Chain A
Amino acid sequence: MNLTAKALMKEFPRKSGSANCFTVLQPLDLTIDAGKLTVLMGRSGSGKSTLLNILGGLLRPTDGKVLAGEADLYEMPDKALSAFRNRHIGIIPQGQTALYSLTVEENILLPVTLTGKADDAAKQRVQTLAKALEITALLGCYPAELSGGELRRMAIARALLPQPEILLADEPTSDLDEETTQLVLRILKEAAAQGSAVLMVTHDPCAKEFADILLSMRNGVIAADAE
């Protein structure tokens, strides 16, 4: 499933309720192809995360549309969009995103728990992902007992659990050591190789060598090649 943005534009009011706005995303067209790892690089404030949130159905654009396959995300009511996101879109947000009252395993299982499908197959897949991300020993722990890098890997496992056709990763390697960074990038690359449309937003130059498509963003405008 491809993810396509058409004439996408986003403005934010300078003050809440004010008509005076600033433009974060200039009108843009973009396609994240299935089976490819697209890496979007850019400086802080360039609009990368805003674009990722809009593509994930989390932030309504000022103008334009987002199509996941044939589905127009912002034409769906909240319940349908949430269900679509749960089933088809995996998102790895910035920062720590653990639910601290749940164990690591329960955190990873959350997408299927929400839909009441936390069955043995899902639990088996948790084991597989945990092994790949080297967090098997941590599955019974609580997030408070984990390091930042371990928490990040937990979030990646959670996003990958439903085998999403679209995977959006916002700075997934920030604050990670080199070895873990390589591991995470390999996992994202594998997800793309298995057919997912993967978009990774990052500062990390290491990501370049894994990218199938490399884009850069500056002042809300996307350029085709970071080089």
Chain B
Amino acid sequence: MNIAYRNVRRRPVRTAVLLVLTALLSLAVCGGTLLVSGLQKGLGSLEARLGADIMVVPYEARTKSNLESIVLQGNPGYFYMDNSRYEKIRGLDGIGQISAQFYLASASSGCCSIPVQIIGFDPETDFTVLPWLKRSYDGNLQAGDIVVGNDLNAFPGDTLTFYGIDCHVAAKLDKTGTYYDSAVFTNIDTIQQLIGSSLDKGMNDFAGTDPQKVVSTVLINVAEGYSPEEVMNDINIHVKKVKAVQTKEMISGISRSLQGTSDVIGVLIAAVWVLGLVILLLAFTMSVNERKREFAVLRVIGASQGKLASIVMQEALLTGLCGSVLGTGLALVGMLGFRTAVSEQIGLPFLLPGAGQTALLAVMSILAVLLAGILAAAVCAYRISRVDTALILRGDNG
């Protein structure tokens, strides 16, 4: 028979209060850290995926909200500009690498299997998609081949139909936490075929557009000795009806707002911790105070000061362990189960750490809450171990 275990088991209300408190603490630390980490990792992944110094889009897609909606959040959409602008940009000074991409949003009607953003790239010039694509697919995409993002419910060997054209799924990409996870990639030939078919079916606003003569974006890495800013300004001055933006600047804007969000979450976690610690200390103190006579009885039958402290500490360990495992479990289930919803809600890329890192974080969170519980209990254990047994046991008779 373990006295601490019996005390915890047979005082359900007190135990439940302590369990809820410790669970809340671990939920705050584990959930909050996962949230901040997921946001930072998602943004880092996006930065790595964009991989270009400058992005040039048609002037009608220039507004920040429009760009962010399509490029950062992956909302299906499309815009086109004449191919000649790509050629003109390529001729400017300071251009190192340059490649065009083609966007097409599939429709949700019967002609398409799923509504997604389809991105076409030129394997000859691409420097943003291919390096990452090669991690999961080392072949060459043939006409009609597509590669699907990790979130899409399609697998290698499947066939997806877009605008009446059957496309063969050649590979599925690793998780990135960015809009790439819900996009489909293909080469120029295939995307031009799809754009043509969408125009034929009257399902594209750009009627009269020749798919052979348009691009959606131009991605640029500046040549050595040039700054992205001066090349961007050069493009904006010399090429009509386009808008050049620095991708890293676009991300750093989000980065700044993300930092603010992280700070707020950090402050909230700290507040929950301070409040939780105070409440834990109060809960342990109240619990120990109401049992002073029981502790005095234990002293009478031969429990040392150390033994009393050990009983209080064991109770704190038991409730702390159960509560922190519960809270950390809830945080993990919440974050893993609702990461897509979280990403959609905050409108930013969200990529949770890998299994190993998440497990480490869970263990750290459990340990941190255990430590907090032990610290709170230690104060009470010290007090109770020095309780005046005779004074407590003395009744009115002297």
Residues in chain A within 8 A of chain B (CB atoms): 24, 44-50, 53, 56, 58-59, 78-79, 82-87, 91, 93-102, 106, 109-111, 113-115, 118, 158-159, 170-171, 203
- Taking CB atoms, residues of chain B closer than 8 Å to A203 are 397
Smallest Cβ distance from B187 to chain A, in angstroms? 72
Confirm or deny: B354 has a beta carbon within 8 angstroms of a beta carbon on chain A. Answer: no
Q: What CA separation (Å) do A115 and B301 show in the bound complex?
A: 11
Once the chains bind, are B303 and A114 in contact (CB under 8 Å)?
yes
Confirm or deny: B48 has a beta carbon within 8 angstroms of a beta carbon on chain A. Answer: no
Once the chains bind, are A158 and B301 in contact (CB under 8 Å)?
yes
Once the chains bind, are A83 and B398 in contact (CB under 8 Å)?
no
Once the chains bind, are A53 and B394 in contact (CB under 8 Å)?
yes
Chain A residue nearest to B4 (CB atoms) is A101
Q: What CA separation (Å) do A45 and B397 show in the bound complex?
A: 6
- Taking CB atoms, residues of chain A closer than 8 Å to B390 are 50, 53, 58-59
Q: What CA separation (Å) do A38 and B321 show in the bound complex?
A: 50
Using known A-B contacts A45-B398, A58-B390, determine if residue A113 contacts B300 with beta carbons closer than 8 Å.
no
> Mask for B97-140, Cβ within 8 A of A = 1, else 0?
00000000000000000000000000000000000000000000
Chain B residue nearest to A220 (CB atoms) is B398
- Taking CB atoms, residues of chain A closer than 8 Å to B396 are 44
Seed contacts A59-B390, A99-B294, A102-B3; 14 additional CB < 8 Å A-B pairs:
A44-B398, A45-B398, A46-B398, A48-B398, A49-B394, A58-B390, A93-B300, A96-B293, A97-B393, A98-B297, A99-B3, A102-B1, A106-B6, A158-B301
Once the chains bind, are B299 and A58 in contact (CB under 8 Å)?
yes
Chain A residue nearest to B302 (CB atoms) is A86
Q: What CA separation (Å) do A118 and B299 show in the bound complex?
A: 18
Task: Give chain B's interface secondary structure class.
Answer: helix
Confirm or deny: B197 has a beta carbon within 8 angstroms of a beta carbon on chain A. Answer: no
Confirm or deny: B256 has a beta carbon within 8 angstroms of a beta carbon on chain A. Answer: no
Among A47, A93, A102, A158, point to the contact of B393 (Cβ < 8 A). Answer: A93
Among A56, A86, A91, A102, point to the contact of B6 (Cβ < 8 A). Answer: A102
- Taking CB atoms, residues of chain A closer than 8 Å to B294 are 99-100
Among B10, B302, B304, B307, point to the contact of A87 (Cβ < 8 A). Answer: B302
Once the chains bind, are A97 and B397 in contact (CB under 8 Å)?
no
> Mask for B357-398, Cβ within 8 A of A = 1, else 0?
000000000000000000000000000000011100111111
Smallest Cβ distance from B297 to chain A, in angstroms? 5
Once the chains bind, are B302 and A83 in contact (CB under 8 Å)?
yes
Once the chains bind, are A109 and B299 in contact (CB under 8 Å)?
no
Once the chains bind, are A101 and B301 in contact (CB under 8 Å)?
no
- Taking CB atoms, residues of chain B closer than 8 Å to A159 are 301
- Taking CB atoms, residues of chain B closer than 8 Å to A171 are 395, 397
Once the chains bind, are A82 and B303 in contact (CB under 8 Å)?
yes
Chain A residue nearest to B388 (CB atoms) is A59
A to B contact number (C-beta, < 8 Å): 108
Smallest Cβ distance from A220 to chain B, in angstroms? 9
Confirm or deny: B64 has a beta carbon within 8 angstroms of a beta carbon on chain A. Answer: no
Smallest Cβ distance from B182 to chain A, in angstroms? 55
Using known A-B contacts A59-B390, A95-B395, determine if residue A82 contacts B302 with beta carbons closer than 8 Å.
yes
Q: What CA separation (Å) do A101 and B298 show in the bound complex?
A: 13
Tell me the chain B residues, 1-40 only, with Cβ under 8 Å from chain A. Answer: 1, 3, 6-7, 9-11
Query: Which of A95, A99, A113, A118: most chain B Cβ within 10 A?
Result: A99
Smallest Cβ distance from A212 to chain B, in angstroms? 23
Chain B residue nearest to A95 (CB atoms) is B395
Once the chains bind, are B1 and A109 in contact (CB under 8 Å)?
yes
Closest 4 interchain pairs by CB? Answer: A86-B302, A82-B304, A59-B390, A101-B10
Q: Name 7 A/B residue pairs within 8 A (Cβ), A-sorted.
A: A48-B398, A59-B390, A95-B393, A97-B297, A99-B294, A102-B3, A110-B3
Chain B residue nearest to A217 (CB atoms) is B398
- Taking CB atoms, residues of chain A closer than 8 Å to B304 are 78-79, 82-83
Confirm or deny: B305 has a beta carbon within 8 angstroms of a beta carbon on chain A. Answer: yes
Query: Which of B10, B300, B304: most chain A Cβ within 10 A?
Result: B300
Confirm or deny: B306 has a beta carbon within 8 angstroms of a beta carbon on chain A. Answer: yes
Smallest Cβ distance from A62 to chain B, in angstroms? 13
- Taking CB atoms, residues of chain A closer than 8 Å to B299 are 58, 82
Chain A residue nearest to B394 (CB atoms) is A49
Once the chains bind, are A101 and B397 in contact (CB under 8 Å)?
no
